[in-house]
Structure 1
Amino acid sequence: MRNARSGRPSALWMPRSRGALSGLILVILGAWGALIPFVGPHFNFAYTPDQDWAWSTARGWLDVLPGAATVAAGLLLIFSGNRITAMVGGWLAVLAGAWFVIGRELAPMLGIGSAGDPIAASDRKRAALEVSYFSGLGALIVFVGGVAIARLAVRLASDVEALARVEEARAAREAEPSHGEPAYVSGLRETPEVSSGALTQPRVDRYGSEGEPKRGWRRQRPEGGSPNAAYLRWPHPQR
């Protein structure tokens, strides 16, 4: 989220990593709460009716709805970079967890049916079903959502440092000159400067260091000499 006037990130901005772990835990817990009533009978760990993928109104209200809300809350925490949006996800998780805990007690009064009876031969398994399906699952979701809200309610020093790095990167991008544009001075293109010494230096290929021609031996036939005779003459400038 950016300030409309300055274009800089506002105080509501936060790094996405702030709620990523809590959001991932909530997604896993919500998926468990929404799917376990339908796959539990396959492992002999379910409430009545003891059938795989058996749909009922009570399961939709008491299991699928709070589970889907928990998954949505977790996704908001994972992908949101805005503090307000992430806090909405945290509160949604708290409400979904609370519904897991008290939904069975309110179901007869609301007329949405019953979740069924636990299929268990012992009190230990009955307690495990109750904790895994409703009360324990809901309490854990409330706890994770509350931790996420507490972390989002404060502005840590790491948030200020991350915001400063974002602003520095933005300022550096604005300060960089655009590539491919020629530089102009007073409407004319800039030309490279040539030093005066480069124009007055003597050539070194045919001339010496002081500008005089190099001298050396050269074969030359004098006037009146035999055309086949070879003579050496010194000095003679090299060409």
Structure 2
Amino acid sequence: MVDVDKKAATGHGGRLRIPRSRGALGGLAVLLLGIWGALIPFIGPYFDFAYTPDRAWAWSAARGWLEVLPGAVAMVGGLFMLMSRNRLIASFGGWLSVAAGAWFVVGPFLAALLRLGDIGEPVASTDLRRALIELTYFYGLGALILFFAASSLGRLSVRSTRDIAFAERVWTADHTPVAEEKKVVATDHTDTDHPKKVVSPPADARPHSA
């Protein structure tokens, strides 16, 4: 019986079950980086850390395609990795994050070719500040998202003994064989072992003779 239970717990459905902590670190990192990537073009001008046009909350097609879109995709992917206990869903979030990170890196090079708009120029007086803005807005940001997403995908692709133990615990909790056995015993139990006690009505409730 134990072997059958373990086989059921570690079958196809069991292989998809993972602890939530499996992709939590990478998912949280990607989520935060996605929020940064989507918001920094709009709030960066408050800190003199921006691309032209350096006006807060100024919308442009380039910002939508090259920053808001990949940032939003990274946030969704990060949430999938952070919250899901299903290996397929968490892996899907990882691949979404990979796509978002790659787009942060290559998007600026393809903007003119795909006619996505002008991303502008970093507002910087020195080459060091210019490089810092470019890295934190696009290339370094995308590389970090790719790193955390790839690391999480690597962890999700490996089925460890911890995953097997987690699948067995979930399967046991779902089926609860001990509780079901107790339920069956309680259903089959008759009242012959415990006869009912007859309770006489109170004297006041008895009918009076004429």
Q: Which 5+ residue runs of structure 2 have no aligned equivalent?
A: 1-7, 196-210
Q: Contact 1:21 / 1:78 at 8 angstroms: preserved in 2?
A: yes
Summarize deviations over 1:136-160 as a string: whole Å, max 9, x none: 0000000000001000001001011
Q: Secondary structure at the match of 1:113?
A: coil
Query: What does residue 202 of structure 2 align with?
Result: none
Query: What does residue 100 of structure 1 align with?
Result: 104
Distance 1:179 1:130, change over 3 A: farther
Q: Does 1:121 align with 2:125?
A: yes
Which structure's CA Rg is the greater one? Answer: 1
CA drift of 1:50 comes to 1.0
Q: Does 1:149 align with 2:153?
A: yes
Q: Does 1:52 align with 2:56?
A: yes
Q: Percent identity?
A: 49
* TM, length-normalised to structure 1: 0.72
Query: RMSD in angstroms over aligned alpha carbons?
Result: 2.0
Query: What does residue 174 of structure 1 align with?
Result: 180
CA drift of 1:171 comes to 2.8
2 CA distance for matches of 1:10 and 1:151? 17
More strand by share: 1
Query: What does residue 162 of structure 1 align with?
Result: 166
Q: Does 1:74 align with 2:78?
A: yes
Whose relative contact order is higher, 1 or 2, with alpha carbons under 8 Å and at least 6 apart?
A: 2
- Letter of the 1:72 partner, please give it: V
Matching of residues 14-25 of structure 1 within 5 Å: 14-25=18-29
1 CA distance for matches of 2:75 and 2:81? 10
Query: What does residue 193 of structure 2 align with?
Result: 190
CA drift of 1:175 comes to 3.1
CA drift of 1:178 comes to 7.0
Q: Contact 2:14 / 2:164 at 8 angstroms: preserved in 1?
A: no
Q: Secondary structure at the match of 2:66?
A: helix
Q: Contact 2:101 / 2:144 at 8 angstroms: preserved in 1?
A: yes
Q: Contact 1:30 / 1:68 at 8 angstroms: preserved in 2?
A: yes
CA drift of 1:180 comes to 7.9
Distance 1:134 1:151, change over 3 A: same
Summarize deviations over 1:86-134 as a string: whole Å, max 9, x none: 1111011011001000100000000011210000000110010011000
Q: Contact 1:182 / 1:189 at 8 angstroms: preserved in 2?
A: no
Distance 1:63 1:179, change over 3 A: farther
CA drift of 1:181 comes to 5.8
* TM, length-normalised to structure 2: 0.81
Q: Contact 2:14 / 2:168 at 8 angstroms: preserved in 1?
A: no
CA drift of 1:21 comes to 1.4
- Letter of the 2:128 partner, please give it: R
- Letter of the 2:139 partner, please give it: S
- Letter of the 2:146 partner, please give it: V
1 CA distance for matches of 2:43 and 2:185? 60
More helix by share: 2
Summarize deviations over 1:12-34 as a string: whole Å, max 9, x none: 11111111111111110000000
1 CA distance for matches of 2:167 and 2:178? 14
